[in-house]
Amino acid sequence: MTPVAIPVPERFTSAAYRSILADGEAGNHATVTDKVIRVIGEAGCRGYPYETCGLLIGTTTAAGDWKIDEARQVTNRNRSRAADRFDLDPAGYQAIDRELRGGGREILGVFHSHPDCPAKPSPTDLASAWEGFLYPIVSICDGKVAELRWWTLAAGGTQFQPVPIHPCA
Ligand SMILES: [Zn+2]
């Protein structure tokens, strides 16, 4: 695979962006299927040059690790700044939540794409993030997947930490 060069807009190196990244990895890891990784990448490529978003579905272990076995794209309702913002359609969220109820699996995170930007969270991402949720960000450059990174809120909820990923079939 030829590595894709990821452009780094100036704002990504600003103090505001750097200050929302915590040192060290999250204490819990995520097990993720290949299919989930594929769905996140394909959604990001299809939607390029706009941001795409969706939900992660799975279970958590008693220790607090995530097991993600499904990813589903949900409409990005942001029309004015869809190139660098997303508003996940609440109706899409509610429909999936209702469907899952009682089945043992639940919504455990939100994925979104960063067109021509690094796979690092922004202050806007921080403002809408929930504790305990997983936030994979896929960087799409020139319409191709450049990088997929997984994040969660650190204790206190004011910064993101990278989440170690274990692949599974
Ligand atoms: Zn973002």
Global pTM?
Answer: 0.95
In a domain, 18, yes or no: no
The answer to whether the beta carbons of residues 24 and 60 sit under 8 Å apart is: no
Å from CA of 93 to ligand 1 middle: 18
pLDDT the model gives residue 167 = 80
In a domain, 149, yes or no: yes
In a domain, 72, yes or no: yes
Per-residue pLDDT reduced to its tens digit, 76-120: 999 899 889 999 999 999 999 999 999 999 999 999 999 999 999
In a domain, 129, yes or no: yes
Full pLDDT tens readout for the chain, 169 residues: 567 789 999 999 999 999 999 999 999 999 999 999 999 999 999 999 999 999 999 999 999 999 999 999 999 999 899 889 999 999 999 999 999 999 999 999 999 999 999 999 999 999 999 999 999 999 999 999 999 999 999 999 999 999 999 987 5
pLDDT the model gives residue 1 = 59
* CATH (domain of 66): 3.40.140.10
Give whole-number Cα distances, 109 to 2, 29, 69, 136, in Å: 29, 13, 12, 8
Å from CA of 121 to ligand 1 middle: 5
- Whether omega for the bond prior to residue 3 falls within 30 degrees of 0, making it cis, is no
Å from CA of 134 to ligand 1 middle: 13
* Cα atoms in the Cβ-side hemisphere of radius 13 Å centred on 155: 4
Strand 66-74 relative to strand 30-33, pairing = parallel
In a domain, 17, yes or no: no
Number of structural domains in the chain:
1
pLDDT the model gives residue 5 = 85
Å from CA of 56 to ligand 1 middle: 16
Q: How far apart are alpha carbons 68 and 59 in whole angstroms?
A: 7
Phi, psi of 43 (to 5 degrees): -60, -45
In a domain, 6, yes or no: no
Which helix (H) or strand (E) segment holds residue 4: the answer is none
The answer to whether the beta carbons of residues 139 and 41 sit under 8 Å apart is: no
In a domain, 5, yes or no: no
Å from CA of 154 to ligand 1 middle: 17
In a domain, 7, yes or no: no
Give the domain extent around 119: 23-168
For 45-68, give the DSSP string: HHHTTS--EEEEEEEE-TTS-EEE
pLDDT the model gives residue 2 = 65
